[in-house]
Structure 1
Amino acid sequence: MDRSMMKGLAVGGLAMVVLGASGVTGYKSLTAPKFAEVTAVKPVMETAVTPREHCADVQVQRTAPVQDKNRVAGTVVGGLAGGLLGSAVGRGNGNTLATVAGAVAGGYAGNQVQKNMQQKDVTTAVERRCKTVNEKSQKLIGYDVSYRLDGKDGVARTSFKPGTTLPVKDGKVVTTAPPAEKS
C-alpha cells in the first residue's frame, strides 16, 4: 500500500469517528427529555411583621381639684349645727356641756361629710391614647416544586407557579419564569 492510500484511510477513519461522535451527541440531544413532570407544588410563605400605631379616645375620670383642703367649711358648719342641737338639750351646766359636745361632734361630722363629698366630686375628660401594635401578614416568596426527570425525583424552588411540567435545558430543570407572551 502506498502512502497516499494510507493517508486516505487515516483521514477517512478520522472522519468516521468525528461523524459517529457527532451522531451520538446529536442522538443524545434529540432523545434527551425536554420537560420534567411536576408531581407536587407547595407555596412558600414568609411572615412579615409591620408595626403601626393604634389610637383611641378614652373617657378618663379624675378627682376634681379641692378648693378647701382642710375642710374648714364642713367643720364650721357641722360645729354650728351640733352646737345648736346640743344647746337644745339639758339645763344649766349640762346645757353648756351638751353645747360643747354637740359642737365637737358636729364639727367632726361636718368635716367627714365634706371629705366624702370631695372624694366623689370627679371630672370626666376624653384623652387620646395610642399604642403600637404589630400586624402580621403572609407574603408569597415562591414555590417548592417536586418533579420527576428521567425516573429520578427532585425538588426545586421557583418564583412562579408551574403547570404540569417544567422545561429542561441541558439536562437540568429550568426554575426561572418563562418570558411573558406578547399579545
Structure 2
Amino acid sequence: MNKSMLTGVIAGAVAVTAIGGIAGYTILNPKPEFADVLAAEPVTKTTKTPKQICNDVVVNEQAPVKDPNRIAGTAIGAVAGGLLGHQIGGGTGRTLATVGGAAAGGYAGNQVQKNMQEKDTVNRTETRCKTVYESHTKTIGYDVRYRLGKEEGHVRMDHQPGARIPVKDGQLQLDAPVAP
C-alpha cells in the first residue's frame, strides 16, 4: 500500500467514525418532541361594568298649605271664644270676658289649624335610581411551567396547554393543537 492510499483509508475511517458517533448520539439522545407541562395557572382579568337599578318609592310629604298664616282657624276660634266669653258676667265684665274669650279662642283656633295642616299629607311615587357595578372575570391566558429535557421554563399561552406542548427544532409550538 502506498502512502497516499494509507492516508485516504485513515481519513475515511476517521470520517466514518465521526459520522457514526454523531448519528449514534442523535439516535441515543434524540431531541424531545414534547415538553411536559408541570403547572398551568389561569391568568384572569376582572372588569366592572356599571348598571343602573331603578325602583319606584312611595314618598309621604306634607300637603301644600292653602292658608299659611292660619287666618281661618284664628277667625273661627276668635268668634267661638267671643261667643263663649259673652255668656259670662254682665256689664263691663261681659265686655272683658268677650274680648278675652275672642283672644283665647283666636289662639286656640290658630293652633288647631296648625296641627291639622301638619298632619295633612299626600303620597306620590318617585323613581329612585342607583348605580351598581357588576364584576366580570375573564381568563386571558395561562402561565405555564414546563420541562423540556432537563431544563424547566415558563411561558404564557393563550389557551390551556394540556399535559404536553409540542416541540419542533427545540422550540415550543405554542399555537399547535393541544397534545393528549
TM-score bin, normalised by smaller chain: 0.7 to 0.9
For 2:176 and 2:138, how far apart are their aligned partners in 1? 18
2:66 is aligned with 1:60? no
Shift of 1:176: 2.5
Aligned to 1:142: 141
CA contact (8 A) 1:36 1:165 kept: yes
Shift of 1:130: 2.0
CA contact (8 A) 1:63 1:123 kept: yes
Q: Deviations over 1:12-51 (max 9, x none)?
A: 86xx49x939x55x928x7011111111121111111111
CA contact (8 A) 1:156 1:175 kept: no
CA contact (8 A) 1:158 1:177 kept: no
For 1:93 and 1:150, how far apart are their aligned partners in 2? 126
Aligned to 2:173: 174
For 1:109 and 1:168, how far apart are their aligned partners in 2? 100
**TM-score normalised by the chain length of structure 1:** 0.79
For 1:50 and 1:140, how far apart are their aligned partners in 2? 17
For 1:48 and 1:108, how far apart are their aligned partners in 2? 66
Query: Which runs of no fewer than 5 residues in structure 1 stay unpaired?
Result: none
Shift of 1:177: 5.1
Shift of 1:108: 1.1
For 2:75 and 2:176, how far apart are their aligned partners in 1? 91
For 1:151 and 1:88, how far apart are their aligned partners in 2? 119
Question: Aligned to 1:178, what secondary structure does the other structure show?
Answer: coil
For 1:55 and 1:177, how far apart are their aligned partners in 2? 49
Shift of 1:71: 1.1
For 1:96 and 1:73, how far apart are their aligned partners in 2? 24
Shift of 1:88: 2.3
Question: Aligned to 2:82, what secondary structure does the other structure show?
Answer: helix
Query: Which runs of no fewer than 5 residues in structure 2 stay unpaired?
Result: none
Number of aligned residue pairs: 172
